[in-house]
Amino acid sequence: MTALPVPTPSDEPTSTVASRPGDASGALVFTGGVSAVECVPYDLVDAGGHTVAIGRVFGIPVDLVGGQPLVYVDRGTTPQAGPSPDG
């Protein structure tokens, strides 16, 4: 397994994108998004002409301020594209 670098907010101090260190892993979380999954590097897998990076999920931030996601899931049905019927 090859170690992958984990970016931190201090890596680009002049960035205008709102971010913070993640609560669980310290990985960079962009706070203006609609969702995020906080991961740390786990493995690199050779996939023909590509290398797939696999991360281990450590947390899911709940304080993001972005708009509604493009896909919603109504449990018991198939995921649908577009805004939820409620809003």
pLDDT digits (tens, 9 = 90+) for 33-62: 888 888 878 999 999 999 999 988 888 888
Q: Do the Cβ atoms of 12 and 19 come closer than 8 Å?
A: no
Residue at token pair 């290398």: 51
Q: Do the Cβ atoms of 60 and 69 come closer than 8 Å?
A: no
Q: Which segment, 6-10, 36-40, 74-78, 82-86, is predicted with the most confidence on average?
A: 36-40
Whole-prediction pTM value? 0.49
Instruction: Give the model's confidence band at 5: pLDDT under 50 very low, under 70 low, under 90 confident, else very high.
Output: low
